[in-house]
């Protein structure tokens, strides 16, 4: 009996096994005339997978479901398959990346994409959380790929097959160039992988999404109201009552509405005004922007903090260090309404020093930032004493990218605003 894969031919989960089969030299056939929503509801299919999900691999020894398990089975059919690496540690690392790919990449792409396609309720706060989690995962992947062509070893492994397939739906449907450009090593890796001949044979030509799918509209429902028959007026009103409730439930979890910083007394310092002044000052920066900052600064409503990276000796590669800082700033998006920051990468040679200055709403660093942005614990934080002229001057220099800073040149200066 041949190996038969029950799935459509455009399913990225089925593609994992089909690509592994190409590398392994195993023949896997797609089930003929498979129709999603029909074929996977038959008693014969339910007997192979009780919850009716695809793909399912039919083998002489019985069925196998779950796409990663199917891909492993196909790969194991060849003894000492290089797709599993050349050592026990490489095998473990391949499995490590397979788990990472499933839980951190695939799951978060799905949480972002599927509600926009109508496969589940579209809830903006849930989407924000999914995108933030995906960015965190891609940043970690980007850091690894900065010094690695593939995930494990020097050639394609099962980890690359599974990661490539999981990323393909993201790149193809929702991760536009403006989104992925923040992760250049992931971009390089993805296009390298999907352009391998065995990938091309199964996936065909992969094109990057040009736009993000619009979320489903909930507006048309009220239009039904004028045509309600009198006799059914009461039942329809009951149904209509539930729709506004759903809208309210979507809005209620938004962090903006519940953030305790929103409940602080008004401050004379309007953060957006400072950000505009910073962005628009092109000349006489000290006289205009720096002076304007201290004129606006409200020590009762805001606090200033210096931060220093705890592991400066690890900053031995310039672009890795820059990526590290860039990832930190991405993950600080959740604080954009409440913060302004400058991050300096200092030095002309390794190890590079990473130091920063942050302005936060409130008298302390916001708890939700400390809880949600894991980078925060990688830095030592010290509140600025604005009565200390030396510290105040250090603030000025960091805001204006003064060079040399503390006797050293600046490799880069990044602003969060």
CA-CA distance, 367 to 363, in Å (whole number)?
A: 11
Contact assessment for residue 56 and residue 6, using Cβ atoms and an 8 Å cutoff: yes
State pTM to two decimals: 0.55
Contact assessment for residue 51 and residue 59, using Cβ atoms and an 8 Å cutoff: no
Q: Which of 53, 58, 49 is nearest to 29 (CA)?
A: 58
**Residue 334: which pLDDT band, with cuts at 50, 70 and 90?**
confident
185-229 pLDDT per residue, tens: 999 999 999 999 999 999 999 999 999 999 887 544 444 454 455
Looking at residue 255, its pLDDT comes to 40
Which residues, other chains included, contact 94 with Cβ-Cβ below 8 Å and sequence gap of 6+?
Answer: 84, 85, 151, 152, 157, 158, 159
| Alpha helix segments (H runs only) across 25-106 | 43-48, 67-76, 88-100
User: How many CB atoms neighbour CB 108 within 10 A?
Assistant: 21
Q: Which residue has the tokens 């028959």?
A: 229
Residue 407: its H or E element: none
Looking at residue 411, its pLDDT comes to 93
User: Alpha-carbon dihedral of residues 225, 230, 235, 237, nearest 10 degrees?
Assistant: 40
Sheet containing strand 379-383, strands side by side? 379-383, 302-309, 353-361, 339-346, 410-416
**Residue 243: which pLDDT band, with cuts at 50, 70 and 90?**
very low
Q: What whole-number percentage of the chain has pLDDT above 90? A: 72
Mind listing the domains of the chain with CATH numbers? Answer: 3-77 (3.40.30.10), 88-203 (1.20.1050.10), 271-416 (3.30.70.1010)
**Residue 94: which pLDDT band, with cuts at 50, 70 and 90?**
very high
CA-CA distance, 188 to 174, in Å (whole number)?
A: 18
């Amino acid at each position: 009996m041949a190996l038969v894969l029950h799935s459509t031919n455009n399913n990225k989960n089925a593609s994992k096994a089909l690509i592994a089969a190409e590398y392994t030299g195993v023949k896997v056939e797609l089930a003929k005339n498979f129709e999603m929503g029909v074929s996977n509801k038959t008693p014969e299919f339910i007997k192979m997978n009780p919850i009716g999900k695809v793909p399912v691999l039919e083998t002489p020894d019985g069925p196998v479901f779950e796409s990663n398990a199917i891909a492993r089975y196909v790969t194991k059919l060849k003894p000492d398959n290089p797709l599993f690496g050349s050592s026990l540690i490489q095998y473990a690392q391949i499995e490590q990346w397979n788990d990472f790919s499933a839980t951190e990449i695939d799951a978060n792409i799905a949480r972002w994409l599927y509600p926009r396609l109508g496969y589940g309720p579209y809830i903006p706060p849930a989407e924000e959380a999914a995108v933030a989690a995906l960015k965190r995962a891609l940043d970690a992947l980007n850091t690894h790929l900065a010094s690695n062509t593939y995930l494990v070893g020097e050639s394609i492994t099962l980890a690359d097959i599974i990661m490539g397939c999981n990323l393909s739906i993201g790149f193809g449907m929702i991760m536009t160039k403006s989104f992925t450009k923040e992760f250049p090593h992931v971009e390089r890796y993805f296009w390298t992988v999907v352009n391998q001949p065995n990938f091309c044979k199964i996936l065909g030509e992969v094109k990057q999404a040009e736009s993000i799918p619009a979320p489903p509209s909930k507006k048309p429902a009220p239009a039904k109201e004028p045509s309600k028959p009198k006799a059914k007026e009461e039942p329809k009103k009951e149904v209509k009552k539930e729709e506004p409730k759903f809208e309210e439930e979507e809005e209620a979890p938004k962090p903006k509405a519940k953030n305790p910083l929103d409940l602080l007394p008004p401050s004379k310092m309007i953060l957006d005004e400072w950000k505009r002044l910073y962005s628009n000052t092109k000349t006489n920066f000290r006289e205009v922007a720096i002076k304007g900052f201290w004129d606006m600064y409200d020590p009762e409503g805001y606090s200033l903090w210096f931060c220093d990276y705890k592991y400066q000796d690890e900053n031995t590669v310039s672009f890795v260090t820059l990526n590290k800082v860039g990832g930190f700033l991405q993950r600080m998006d959740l604080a954009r309404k409440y913060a302004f920051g400058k991050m300096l990468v200092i030095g002309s040679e390794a190890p590079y020093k990473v130091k920063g200055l942050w302005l936060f709403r409130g008298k302390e660093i916001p708890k939700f930032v400390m809880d949600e942005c894991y980078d925060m614990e990688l830095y030592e934080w010290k509140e600025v004493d604005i009565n200390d002229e030396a510290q105040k001057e250090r603030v000025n220099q960091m805001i204006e990218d003064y060079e040399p800073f503390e006797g050293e040149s600046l490799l880069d200066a990044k602003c969060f605003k």
